[in-house]
Amino acid sequence: MSARLFRFMGAVTALSHDDRRALCDRSTSADAVVREQTATIIARVQESGDDALRRMAHEFDGATLDALEVPRGEWERARDALAPELRAALERTVRNVRTAHTAFLPQAIEVETEPGVLIGRRPDPLQRVGVYAPGGRAAYPSSLIMGVVPAKVAGVRDVIVCSPASVSGRPSDVVLAAAAIARADRVFAIGGAGAIAAMAYGTDSVPRVDRIVGPGNAWVAEAKLQCAGAVAIDSPAGPSELLVIADAQADVHIVAREMLAQAEHDPRAAVVCVAIGAEVAERVAAAVAALLPSVARGDIIRDALAFAGGVLHTDTLHTAIDFANMWAAEHLLLALTPASLDSACAALRGAGTVFLGESASVAFGDYMTGANHVLPTGGLSRCYSGLSTLDFVRWTSWQRVTPVAAASLASAVGVFADSEGLANHAATARQWSTAT
């Protein structure tokens, strides 16, 4: 039964060329249908603005929008109507994210590269950013918090949120409540690739932003990539991914729960376990099969496991880490003996975020530890990092050169400029050669 659940099974070293390529090529841009549909949506927004957004809200979400923007009073009423334990959980998450990201704030620095030559750099907050909070199959107030709070910590003046409308014509109450608790500035009831295009190019109602952050489905991730020439983005954050490395001491039921949890996000989620030993792999696959009939969102999970799920095995931890660095997961859980955790983490170079030990559940990071859950997907963790305050600043650099230092630089810079055939650069530098 378990063998039919997963697309990929067996030894890592025995994977065919095609399977290895399919495992690693997870970018939504590889899907021509997604790429073409997204381009069409972006063009509709550029051409018709608010009217296109209203039509697409009805077409995709079954929502009739009288206005695209949700008044602040509705957020506050949603916040005040929250069950006390849910409100406390959201507030706790906001506190932890604020604490962590305040510590992560970049600092200005000035360095003297040689006497009289000072080079400086300072982080300046962006003026306006857009935060995408997914909707559709589920509401994600956590994603809203992960985008809004670091932006406010960084000093962004205007933080707007876009989240899909339900049939009521507005985002879910818990998303609106999260906007109030996280102290967003504006909320719009629009979603999908259309929301990304609206924030990238602006409409009569939706202001153009400097950067767009936040996860989403394949169309949202693709829209961010297609709009990247007009607006900065955080990273290609598409359907969820999890890689678990499990050794013989791992609790396979915990591993199975972690895999099911990430697979429930999206039928295109990618969930893989690499076990140290074939027997461990068999036990993990059996645990997933045993749990699956009784869990919620089972149809989504089954589709995800069949689409990109896997239980693989290696002979050594070293080989598993090599695979992890190649696969470049969004989330990487190390279900290893405690003595192996730190050395394994030190060897990893391609994960959005690493969870050290079974008790460091990915769910804790998704919601409340204070780390950010907006992370690169599609194998791009090898070159992108997770969302942080760094995504909400741009850097202003400056240079100071004293007249004495200018005289010291003049001759060498003149020679350098001559070598590139730039005579006026050389003359500009040499005019300082007699400065005192």
Residue 222 has pLDDT above 50, yes or no: yes
> Which tens digit of pLDDT belongs to each residue from 115-172?
999 999 999 999 999 999 998 767 889 999 999 999 999 999 999 999 999 888 999 9
CB 49 within 8 A of CB 200: no
Average pLDDT value for residue range 393-408: 97
pLDDT of residue 139: 83
Q: What region, left, alpha or beta, does residue 202 occupy, with left being phi > 0 and alpha being psi -120 to 50 degrees? A: left
Percent of the chain topping pLDDT 90? 89
SS3 202: coil
Contact residues for 270 (Cβ-Cβ < 8 A; gap 6+)? 26, 239, 240, 241, 242, 304, 307, 308, 309, 329, 377
Pairing of strands 186-188, 270-276: unpaired
CB 222 within 8 A of CB 175: no
Average pLDDT value for residue range 94-116: 97
Report d(CA 106, CA 115) in Å as an integer. 26
Confidence of residue 1 (pLDDT cuts 50, 70, 90): very low
Token readout for 158 is: 């205007």
Contact residues for 237 (Cβ-Cβ < 8 A; gap 6+)? 214, 215, 216, 221, 224, 330, 374, 375, 376, 377
Please return the burial class of 290, using the count of CB atoms within 10 Å of its CB with bins 0-12, 13-18 and 19+: middle
Q: Which residues are catalytic?
A: 330-331
Helix axis angle, 50-61 to 32-48, nearest 10°: 140
Q: Does domain 2-27+238-370 have CATH number 3.30.750.24?
A: no
Residue 254 has pLDDT above 90, yes or no: yes
Homologous superfamily assigned to 32-235:
Nitrogenase molybdenum iron protein domain (3.40.50.1980)
> Which tens digit of pLDDT belongs to each residue from 234-250?
987 778 999 999 999 99
Per-domain residue ranges of the chain:
2-27+238-370, 32-235
Stretch among 42-46, 202-206, 352-356, 376-380 having the lowest mean pLDDT: 376-380
Sign of the torsion angle spanned by Cα atoms 375, 378, 379, 382: negative
- Which residue, among 312, 311, 316, has the nearest Cα to 288 in the 3D structure? 311
pTM for the model: 0.91
The residue behind tokens 């707007």 is 160
Measured CA angle at 139 (ends 33, 99), to 5 deg = 115
